[in-house]
Amino acid sequence: MADHSRPGEFDLIKKYLRPLASDESGAASLSDDAAVLPTKDGHRLVVTMDTLISGVHFFEFTPPHFIAAKCLRVNLSDLAAMGADPAYYTLSLSLPLNGEMTCDADWLDSFSQALAIEQDLYDIILVGGDTVSTPGPLSITITAFGWVKTGQEIVRSGATAGDLVYVSGVIGDAWLGLSAVRGGYPELEPASLELITERYHRPQPRLNLGHRLFGVANAAIDISDGLAQDLSHICKASNVSAIIQAGDIPLSGPARVLLEGDTHLINGLLSGGDDYELLFTVPPEWQQTVAGLAKELDLPLTHIGLIESSQQDHLVTILDEAGMKMNLTSTGYRHF
């Protein structure tokens, strides 16, 4: 645990964060300069890092337990996309000295309690980090570590012409949820509003799915920037193109209701971020395996398109229900 700090950092760490670090892991506790990670026979360590900032990735009024869940889960989603099992994380907290958001002892208490619940849920423990003061907004960086069997990681670059494009769960709810948190969609029923805001606040990292995709999927990515944008990342890395059917994109009940009222919403549903579903490509001969996996995991896995050989004029083509090319007004989630 690094020690350039704010007044009272040591007390804060001891009281709120140290209980999150267990020595059972074999990793050194938070009392040292650094943590020593164990090894695991036949496995390699996968590492990912994400920063979430107040006013950018969450609101100043977002309750600390949602912030805790999201900042950990966006990292776990990256591990899921690689087929890795979560194991450890480090946490850097930049706490605002002033500003509208007060990260006082109550805030830290709620935040660390929520992290403890997440740790139990995903079998991951805190092994180190840093706490600093900032004149800016609350900022949280997590580096997460997971184990993958040697050689069994799933990458973005394996997509092959002829692969079927699949997506897990439903798409666009988090984007709708973001609007709902801002007071949008008052016409929705309370249960529907709750569903989409929950999807925005608490993504479900598809770890069980990612864990099973090795040998089935040629390429995978988690959808953080929007389906269209993230599919283009696979295409770029794999030097292929993709064509998808907008009508095949799986949507939730509330999303269907809203789309009926405003067909332009399809833009946002396909390009809005924060879904944290997995997008993956599968050789056609594994189609039945994917269907079995969906049943076993009780998770929709929907065939939405096809990987083609690299096309000069596009990476990703989206066809509407009439078979016409759609032009998304935005091809990815952009903050600000």
Near a copy of itself in 110-139, by CB under 8 A: 127-130, 132-137, 139
**x/- site string to a copy of itself, residues 265 to 294, per CB under 8 A?**
--------xx--------------------
Question: What is the C-alpha to C-alpha distance for residues 146 and 78, in angstroms, rounded to an integer?
Answer: 10
Q: Does 102 bind a copy of itself (CB under 8 A)?
A: no
Contact positions with a copy of itself (CB under 8 A) in 33-52: 33-39, 44-52
What is the full DSSP assignment across 270-318?
Answer: HH------EEEEE-GGGHHHHHHHHHHHT--EEEEEEEEEPPSS-SEEE
CB of 220 to a copy of itself, least distance (A): 8
**Residue with structure tokens 């890795």?**
84
Question: What is the C-alpha to C-alpha distance for residues 267 and 130, in angstroms, rounded to an integer?
Answer: 40
Question: What is the C-alpha to C-alpha distance for residues 198 and 208, in angstroms, rounded to an integer?
Answer: 20
Judged by CB under 8 A, which of 22, 53, 65, 326 binds a copy of itself? 53
Question: What is the C-alpha to C-alpha distance for residues 128 and 28, in angstroms, rounded to an integer?
Answer: 9
In the complex with a copy of itself, the residue whose CB is nearer, 135 or 186, is 135
CB of 218 to a copy of itself, least distance (A): 14
Judged by CB under 8 A, which of 17, 21, 57, 249 binds a copy of itself? 57
Judged by CB under 8 A, which of 13, 20, 81, 228 binds a copy of itself? 81
Q: Which residues pair with 60 in a beta bridge?
A: none
Cα radius of gyration (the chain): 21
CB of 84 to a copy of itself, least distance (A): 7
Q: Does 259 bind a copy of itself (CB under 8 A)?
A: no
In the complex with a copy of itself, the residue whose CB is nearer, 127 or 217, is 127
Tell me the three state secondary structure of residue 29.
Answer: coil
CB of 100 to a copy of itself, least distance (A): 12
Contact positions with a copy of itself (CB under 8 A) in 135-164: 135-137, 139, 141, 143, 145-146, 148, 150, 153, 155-157
In the complex with a copy of itself, the residue whose CB is nearer, 169 or 254, is 169
User: Which of 244, 98, 255, 222 is CA-nearest to residue 155?
Assistant: 222
Query: Which residues does 236 contact at the CB level (< 8 Å), separation at least 6?
Result: 315
Q: Does 56 bind a copy of itself (CB under 8 A)?
A: yes
Question: What is the C-alpha to C-alpha distance for residues 241 and 232, in angstroms, rounded to an integer?
Answer: 8
Across 150-294, the runs of DSSP E, i.e. the strands, are 164-168, 219-222, 240-245, 278-282
In the complex with a copy of itself, the residue whose CB is nearer, 94 or 192, is 94
Instruction: Let me know: does 129 contact 93? Beta carbons within 8 Å.
Output: yes
Q: Does 206 bind a copy of itself (CB under 8 A)?
A: no
In the complex with a copy of itself, the residue whose CB is nearer, 28 or 319, is 28
User: Which of 104, 119, 102, 105 is CA-nearest to residue 19?
Assistant: 119
Q: Does 229 bind a copy of itself (CB under 8 A)?
A: yes
In the complex with a copy of itself, the residue whose CB is nearer, 32 or 120, is 32
Q: Does 100 bind a copy of itself (CB under 8 A)?
A: no
Number of residues that bind a copy of itself (CB under 8 A): 78
Q: Which DSSP state fits 199?
A: H
Q: Does 336 bind a copy of itself (CB under 8 A)?
A: yes
Question: What is the C-alpha to C-alpha distance for residues 50 and 203, in angstroms, rounded to an integer?
Answer: 14
In the complex with a copy of itself, the residue whose CB is nearer, 168 or 192, is 168
CB of 264 to a copy of itself, least distance (A): 22
User: Which of 300, 277, 172, 167 is CA-nearest to residue 223?
Assistant: 277
